[in-house]
């Protein structure tokens, strides 16, 4: 028997409805796709399990899938990002929810387990949590699943490892790797919302501060861009020499992390790696520094080492923990090291998630139609999905991309040597 929803408080629903309705108003792409693609019946009666940061934008995706006829169950993907009012509203609108804000570790695991115990055919995953759980803990439930899609970089890395070991049991679409996802969501969405969360939670001024960005991937590029836009002195640390040079060419300071540890006022991590700020970095930092993480897990700074070297710790503001070192220096960790933009803020801007979740909705739709013909493995999102999402967004802005003439298309495809071409080149 499928369990009923587990949420904190059904009475919170009215505020949750208001949040979801706000998102709906600013989601032109999802609204277009809902009318044009999702309504074709492909999702009718399909069981979908989702785990993504459970706030209003995710809720809107779940609702549209449910309106397309799917039987949708949602769990939060991070203990601090779940919003209880949104969960209550979702349940009122017919979606099964297993999520509460700040659950115990046991509760969090029980919610994920409950989600896969519904026997989903399609999975929308974040960090490969549900896929990992199915393969490692509940292989008996794998048989129902026809396919999955994955939201984030960290999940893709895990899925690649599973594929290499030959244990990935069904086709998975790498939604994160769609151009309409990572170019916008990881870069602009995370950069924008992480800086917003940092400022809102500290009420401090960022101009002139040395902001150290750890990692210059998609997330790091966004963090650096928005810190720069706010007038910070941006310092980048990155192991890939090409990316580090790219940061240099963007006009940022580049140095190794031990040097940066000594001069930074703010540290922003977005690497997907662990202990990128370890004990030796933490011991060097100045009094009053801020540490915020935008990577998937809360292990980008070594919090265990920080607890060990600190003489004391206390909450100094909502979402800010102060660790005082024996010599009196104070290091401030935001959102307990969890993704600052989501655990201590409202997450990505609505318009960004409109693009990301349009990719996810179309990924689910594609899997519902074609997964039975696909072999197990990790797949890129079909290019048509990227294009459809981009065109729908441009249409909402009243803009059309350039149309190439037949002559231009022929020219781009031609390779034959022609007499006189060299002269034209020289003149041009
Ligand atoms: N907060 C959010 O809302 C959000 C959104 C998207 C992605 N993410 C997460 O952010 C993380 C990064 O994602 P991405 O798409 O930028 O990945 P990416 O692979 O594009 O970039 C990660 C970068 O970190 C660098 N790196 C690795 N170890 C490092 C170290 N020790 N020091 C400095 N740099 C190091 C890598 O070389 C790489 O350039 C992932 O965990 C991803 O899941 C978070």
What's the rounded Cα separation, in Å, for the pair 250 and 66? 44
Residues near 340 by beta carbon (within 8 Å), at least 6 away in sequence? 194, 197, 198, 201, 292, 293, 294, 334
pLDDT band at 80 (very low <50, low <70, confident <90, very high): confident
Q: Does residue 258 line the site of ligand 1, with CB under 6 A?
A: no
What's the gap in Å between 239 CA and the centre of ligand 1?
12
Which residue bears the tokens 């802005």?
Answer: 397
Using one digit for the tens of pLDDT, what is the confidence trace for 413-422? 998 887 766 6
| Cα 186 to averaged position of ligand 1 atoms, centre (Å) | 9
Cβ of 345 less than 6 Å from ligand 1: no
| Predicted pLDDT of residue 192 | 98
DSSP states along 376-417: SEEEEPPHHHHHHHHHHHHHHTT-------HHHHHHHH----
- Cα separation of 124 and 376, whole Å? 16
Q: Which two tokens stand for residue 180?
A: 């309409």
Would you say the CB of residue 237 lies under 6 angstroms from ligand 1? yes
**Which atom of ligand 1 is closest in space to residue 216's alpha carbon?**
39
Give the position of tokens 């919610």: 111
Query: CA-CA distances (angstroms) from residue 417 to 111, 411, 414, 421, 428?
Result: 64, 12, 9, 8, 17
If residue 254 lies in a helix (H) or strand (E), which one and from where to where?
strand 253-254
What percent of the chain has pLDDT above 90?
94
pTM: 0.92
Q: pLDDT value at position 417?
A: 80
Among 243, 271, 344, 359, residue to substitute to test ligand 1 (most atoms within 8 Å of Cβ): 271
276 CB less than 6 Å from ligand 1? yes
Q: Would you say the CB of residue 217 lies under 6 angstroms from ligand 1?
A: yes
**Contact, 124 vs 46, CB < 8 A?**
no
pLDDT, tens digit, for every residue of 357-370? 999 999 999 999 99
Per-residue model confidence (pLDDT) at position 423: 58
Contacts 24+ apart (CB under 8 A), 34-41: 34/64, 34/67, 34/68, 34/361, 37/361, 37/362, 37/365, 37/388, 38/64, 38/65, 38/67, 38/68, 38/361, 38/365, 39/68, 41/69
pLDDT digits (tens, 9 = 90+) for 113-172: 999 999 999 999 999 999 999 999 999 999 999 999 999 999 999 999 999 999 999 999
Report which secondary-structure segment, H or E, holds 96.
strand 96-98
List the residue whose alpha carbon is closest to atom 3 of ligand 1: 190
Q: For residue 428, is pLDDT > 70?
A: no
Q: Give the least confident one: 76-80, 277-281, 337-341, 362-366.
A: 76-80
Kindly report, residue by residue over 175-194, the tens digit of the pLDDT: 999 999 999 999 999 999 99
Q: Give the pLDDT confidence score for residue 422 in this predicted structure.
A: 61
Evaluate: CB of 221 within 6 angstroms of ligand 1.
Answer: no
Question: What is the chain's mean pLDDT, rounded?
Answer: 95
pLDDT > 80? residue 12: yes
Q: Are strands 320-324 and 330-334 parallel, antiparallel or unpaired?
A: antiparallel
């Amino acid at each position: 028997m499928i369990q009923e929803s587990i949420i904190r408080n059904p009475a919170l629903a009215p505020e949750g409805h208001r949040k979801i309705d706000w998102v709906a108003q600013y989601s032109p792409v999802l609204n277009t796709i809902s009318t044009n693609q999702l309504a074709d019946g492909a999702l009718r009666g399909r069981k979908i399990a989702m785990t993504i940061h459970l706030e209003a934008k995710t809720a809107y995706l779940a609702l549209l899938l449910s309106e397309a006829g799917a039987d949708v169950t949602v769990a939060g993907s991070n203990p601090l990002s779940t919003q209880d009012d949104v969960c209550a509203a979702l349940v009122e609108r017919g979606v099964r929810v297993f999520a509460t804000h700040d659950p115990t570790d046991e509760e969090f695991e029980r919610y994920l387990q409950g989600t896969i115990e519904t026997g989903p055919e399609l999975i929308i995953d974040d960090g490969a949590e549900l896929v990992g759980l199915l393969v490692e803990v509940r292989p008996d439930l794998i048989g129902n699943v026809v396919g999955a899609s994955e939201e984030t970089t960290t999940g893709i890395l895990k899925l690649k490892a599973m594929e290499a070991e030959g244990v990935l049991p069904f086709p998975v679409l790498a939604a994160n790797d769609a151009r309409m996802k990572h170019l916008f969501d990881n870069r602009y969405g995370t950069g924008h919302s992480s800086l917003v969360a940092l400022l809102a939670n500290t009420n401090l001024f960022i101009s002139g501060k040395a902001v150290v960005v750890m990692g210059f991937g998609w997330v790091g590029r966004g963090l650096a861009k928005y810190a720069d836009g706010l007038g910070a002195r941006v310092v980048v640390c990155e192991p890939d020499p090409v990316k580090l040079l790219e940061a240099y060419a963007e006009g940022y300071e580049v140095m190794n992390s031990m040097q940066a540890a000594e001069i930074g006022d703010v540290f922003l991590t977005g690497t997907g790696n662990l202990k990128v700020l370890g004990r030796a970095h933490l011991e060097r930092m100045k009094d009053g520094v801020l540490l915020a993480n935008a990577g998937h897990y809360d292990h980008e700074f070594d919090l265990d080492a920080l607890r060990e070297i600190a003489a004391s710790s206390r909450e100094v503001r909502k979402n800010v923990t102060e660790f005082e070192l024996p010599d009196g220096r104070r290091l401030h960790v935001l959102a307990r090291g969890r993704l600052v933009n989501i655990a201590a803020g409202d997450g990505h801007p609505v318009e960004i998630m409109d693009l990301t979740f349009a990719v996810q909705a179309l990924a689910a739709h594609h899997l519902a139609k074609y997964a039975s013909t696909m072999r197990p493995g990790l797949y890129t999102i079909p290019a048509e999905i990227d294009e459809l999402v981009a065109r729908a967004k441009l249409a909402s802005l009243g803009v059309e991309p350039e149309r190439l003439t037949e002559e231009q298309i022929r020219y781009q495809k031609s390779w034959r040597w022609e007499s006189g071409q060299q002269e034209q080149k020289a003149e041009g």
